[in-house]
Amino acid sequence: MGSDSLCHAYETSSHHRFGIVASSQWSLPAEQCRIAWRGSGDQEADLRTGFADQKATGEIIFSPGVEAEKPEYWKRYKACQEAFKKLSAFKGKAVPFLVEHLDDDRQSIDFRNHYMGTSVGNACHWKLYDLIQDRPDDYSSYGYSRKGRDGQMHTKPYWEGSPFGESRDIKLWLEQNAQLSYPQKQIKCLTWLLEKEKAIGACDAESYFENILPLEIRILERRLEAGHKVEPELNQQRQALKDKVPGSVPPELLPAPSKP
């Protein structure tokens, strides 16, 4: 369940580039987004923002489908979308910068369903949320609850809790886990979610292939990225998800067999 988070856009005097207030410390090629630490006062003065030329008002920022009759509005809105897509390419390198801008109250656009915050800080919060939790796109489906192995409906773990603790304070969690590498942070969050999903179990094989196996695969992918030798197991799990053979589901995650 990827996020549709969005950030604000800016442009320099010589090139159109989309992102958040920048300097040259981290940079991609000129045709791509440039995201970095806040620059000097002189450099800040050279940046002309898209929606971020004002403080967030909390009012709804309509999508271009509603405001299509205003070309300039559409252009600014789409620039925000493009900025956030390109920001994703930084992955772990973007984390310190995003944390720095969590309190940025400049205007952005609506970036997540069911949440009304429209500041740049809100955008940074949800981008951190997505980067660190790292949920695979084929995990879970839309909805607040799902049926477990006991036949009852259960609130999905990511609605009921958070790997960041009761306060859901991402900044504090990152400070407490500063010793972990970026993949290790992702594994920690994914493991929290996987344990919650396994506790609910699966009402049938399809539920396992949707709510549990994708998380197991993503954890193996991040372990491989972190240097662990898990490629054979990862390939096996990927094939299991592709084939979706009911008999491959661990029986302890399914409902108990009916008594004769």
Domain count, the chain: 2
Q: Tell me: do 149 and 118 sit in the same domain.
A: no
User: Of the candidates 101, 131, 161, which is a domain's last residue?
Assistant: 131
Domain range for 210 is 145-253
Q: Tell me: do 17 and 80 sit in the same domain.
A: yes
pTM recorded for the entire structure: 0.75
Q: Tell me: do 202 and 115 sit in the same domain.
A: no
In a domain, 249, yes or no: yes
CA distance linking residue 142 with residue 157, whole number of Å: 13
Q: Tell me: do 83 and 155 sit in the same domain.
A: no
Q: Compute CA distances 115 → 75, 119, 123, 166, 183, whole Å.
A: 23, 12, 11, 19, 28
Reported confidence tier of residue 40, pLDDT bands at 50, 70, 90: very low
CA distance linking residue 126 with residue 108, whole number of Å: 13
Q: Tell me: do 207 and 232 sit in the same domain.
A: yes
Give Cα 141 to chain centroid, integer Å.
15
Reported confidence tier of residue 55, pLDDT bands at 50, 70, 90: low
Residue 223, classed as helix, strand or coil, is: helix
Reported confidence tier of residue 53, pLDDT bands at 50, 70, 90: low
Q: What is the mean pLDDT of the chain?
A: 76
Q: Tell me: do 63 and 151 sit in the same domain.
A: no
Q: For residue 152, what are its two tokens?
A: 């009852």
In this structure, is the dihedral angle defined by the CA atoms of residues 24, 26, 32 and 38, taken in order, positive or negative? Answer: negative
Reported confidence tier of residue 113, pLDDT bands at 50, 70, 90: low
CA distance linking residue 82 with residue 96, whole number of Å: 21
Is residue 89 within 8 A of residue 27, CB to CB? The reply is no
Q: Tell me: do 116 and 157 sit in the same domain.
A: no
In a domain, 43, yes or no: yes
Q: Is 90 exceeded by the pLDDT of residue 257?
A: no
Per residue in 103-112, pLDDT (tens digit) is 888 777 766 6
Q: Tell me: do 47 and 90 sit in the same domain.
A: yes
